[in-house]
Structure 1
Amino acid sequence: MRFDVITLFPELFGPFLANGVTRRAYAGPIEVHLWNPRDHAEGNYRRVDDRPFGGGPGMVMMAEPLERCLAAVQAQRAAPAPVVLFSPIGTPLRHAVVQQWSQGEGAVLLCGRYEGIDQRFIDRYVDVQLSLGDFVLSGGEIPAMALLDAVARLQPGVLHDEGSHQFDSFNPALDGLLDCPHYTRPEVWSGTPVPPELMSGHHARIEAWRRAQRLQTTARHRPELIEQARAAGRLTPADEKLLQSGDGLL
């Protein structure tokens, strides 16, 4: 799997790719190549942006340096890859989207800056637009890192426990619910003990407690996920009984 990142700030990715558990992915199943469009710009100043037609604040990334950069990227790949732009109008980056990318061959990740990218380049070359949410960042580098990180941790051998990601929030293995709370030593901290169910050693009791906590946490913080699980037939009669009780919040 190969990701090519087009960015004006490739140096931002150095620490990200070299630290944390996901660094195993970037030294193994995932290749990450960084490309600076300034290296494909013309003139003494290697200009990559200009003022917007029609006036207004800020600058717009020019189509020509990006086109030359993208051509160089695609020429080095075994086959043309989809071009992903991180944009406020994009599809929200959710777990199901990450799973799709984690099973593919990679992509070209385009990180915009300034007021944006010349729309003509977007119309001609961009295949997919993704968004982290309803807010604006200074550029696409942080969303690109978010996608890379989310994809990397789903690769075999990256996490210490192969089944760890199966218990992540939003995972189908948890019926799309949020994860439950977690506790570790000491058994009593600042006067608060670990829930007795987790100390019981009774696996069925522990799993029942965790299921109840996932339902309660999801109902409290992301009730729309409960509705999605219900519509998909993922909730059991016992789940529904809990949700209709005072403990379940719904």
Structure 2
Amino acid sequence: MKIDVLSLFPEMFSGVFGQSILKKAQEKDALELRVIDFREFSTNKHRNVDDYPYGGGAGMVLTPQPLFDAVEHLTKEAPVKPRIILLCPQGETFTQSKAEELAEEEHLIFLCGHYEGYDERVREHLVTDEISIGDYVLTGGELGAMVVIDAVGRLLPNVLGKEASHQEDSFSTGLLEHPQYTRPADFRGMKVPDVLMSGNHKNIEIWRKKESLKRTYERRPDLLEKITLTKEEEIWLNEIKDHKTT
């Protein structure tokens, strides 16, 4: 996968892109990351990329010309049409399913804005997706882009090593992930559940599914409204609810 980021502050990405999983993804040639300062595409003699909004109002608005020219430069010889993603508070809330969808693409371009917002023509005629990482406002789109890229990058083939590493993540199945334990089996009197050390893989799988349902019901019951449970899972969930009320 190729990912291009258009930002006025490209130096913000050096630490994130040069560490941990994203670094390994690049070393394995699973991911190519580039950060471009779109100010370089401004035709204004002062390299300005923003201007006052028509109709008045506070703040400055990013002008369309540098962004359009930068995207056209990046895509003029592209073998496939990229997804062009605008980071903004008004966008679709980012989810694990969106990360999985984007991980199927060959080329992504992220637009990271600053100031008061974007010229509306950028939204209407340039981007394919608008994404928000939450109902709050940041000083720019860079942090949002880092979050999305990290979530997408770890899903690429051979990046995590084991495919199952992300298949059981919270939200990948529609539910929160089950509890995890490691050695020692007894830490200060706090013991690992016996079933996990039993060697009975069928019982372990059942325990994990039940715990996943329980954790979701207790912490994010809204997620249960979005998925279809099996008859067995419905029975387990009713048992969890009954136990909660007793």
Map 1:1-250 onto structure 2 (within 5 A).
Answer: 1-27=1-27, 28-172=29-173, 176-229=174-227, 232-234=228-230, 236=232, 237-247=234-244
**One-letter identity of the residue aligned with 1:238:** I
Aligned-residue Cα RMSD (Å) equals 2.1
- Describe the SS at the equivalent of 2:243: coil
Please give the alpha-carbon distance, in whole angstroms, between the structure 2 residues aligned to 1:86 and 1:21.
Answer: 22
Q: How far did 1:217 drift? A: 0.5
- Describe the SS at the equivalent of 2:240: helix
The answer to whether the 8 Å contact 2:84/2:128 transfers is yes
**One-letter identity of the residue aligned with 2:108:** A
- Describe the SS at the equivalent of 1:245: helix
The answer to whether the 8 Å contact 2:4/2:110 transfers is yes
- Describe the SS at the equivalent of 1:226: helix
Which piece of structure 1 moves more, 232-241 or 64-73?
232-241
TM norm structure 1: 0.88
Deviation string 1:77-128 (CA, Å, 9 cap, x unpaired) is 2233232101222111112211111112222111111111111222221221
**One-letter identity of the residue aligned with 2:16:** F
TM norm structure 2: 0.90
Structure 1's consecutive aligned runs of 4 or more residues displaced over 3 angstroms after TM superposition are: 42-45
Identity within the alignment, %? 36
**Gapped regions of structure 2 (runs ≥ 5):** none
Deviation string 1:29-74 (CA, Å, 9 cap, x unpaired) is 2222221111112345311112223333322111122222222111
**Gapped regions of structure 1 (runs ≥ 5):** none
The answer to whether the 8 Å contact 2:87/2:112 transfers is yes
Deviation string 1:126-174 (CA, Å, 9 cap, x unpaired) is 22111112111111112211221111111121113232111101113xx
**One-letter identity of the residue aligned with 1:198:** L
The answer to whether the 8 Å contact 1:212/1:242 transfers is no
The answer to whether the 8 Å contact 2:133/2:144 transfers is yes
